[in-house]
Chain A
Amino acid sequence: GQSLEQPSEVTAVEGAIVQINCTYQTSGFYGLSWYQQHDGGAPTFLSYNGLDGLEETGRFSSFLSRSDSYGYLLLQELQMKDSASYFCALKAPDSGYALNFGKGTSLLVTP
């Protein structure tokens, strides 16, 4: 089977840095992805880690440690528009390599 765990809610101040953690259990690893979803909107792709280490895309970075079955999404210089839900997601061999999503972390950025 497969499971993904992430905090349900995080609050941070505008301009700060926030880290959203994701721990997982999986029978086969095929990369960890991160998606962002604003209220009422569609999920949009943020980042992908196929190998250990840090991937940086502008203000967003994602980190993976396969030995620890752990990853995180790092958001820097937070802006009010970053208030959204953030999902980590894994491919699952037992669902034909479809992407399975965690329950999501709701990030609230305050002034």
Chain B
Amino acid sequence: DTGVSQNPRHKITKRGQNVTFRCDPISEHNRLYWYRQTLGQGPEFLTYFQNEAQLEKSRLLSDRFSAERPKGSFSTLEIQRTEQGDSAMYLCASSLVKDRAGFGELFFGEGSRLTVL
């Protein structure tokens, strides 16, 4: 399968613990995005990378969240000191975009569901 893969698919953790999610994008895609989705809502943008550079981070994103994309391949999203409000589906997507404002279809992974107890 050459789609976007994410793991773990499910994570249950206690409040205050750190968690890390991994995303492997489609190999030829230059952009990688992280979104968060809660029940009944649309995906909420968190951050994105162009190759290995993190180009944008949502202003609403807590500094407990950090993402990396070393070598422009896979990416990790870490949440430190988790809170119950962090419980959500964390979606990764990748795309191939030629210019910054240009169109690029997003290909989403199946997501990593986080439950914070």
Contact = CB atoms under 8 A, between A and B. Distances in A.
Nearest to A100: B45
Interface string A79-111: 000000001010101011111111110000000
A50 B40 CA distance: 27
Contact of B105 (A30, A45, A98, A104): A45
Given A30-B101, A95-B58, A101 B33 contact: no
Contacts of A25: none
B109 A99 contact: no
Given A87-B42, A101-B42, A42 B108 contact: yes
Interface residue range, chain A = 20 to 34
A35 B105 CA distance: 10
Contacts of B44: 101
A35 B35 CA distance: 14
Nearest to A30: B101
B56 A96 contact: yes
A44 interface: yes
Contacts of A87: 42-43
A104 B101 contact: no
Interface of A: 30-31, 33, 35, 41-45, 48, 50, 87, 89, 91, 93, 95-104
Interface of B: 33, 35, 40-45, 48, 55-56, 58, 91, 93, 100-103, 105-111
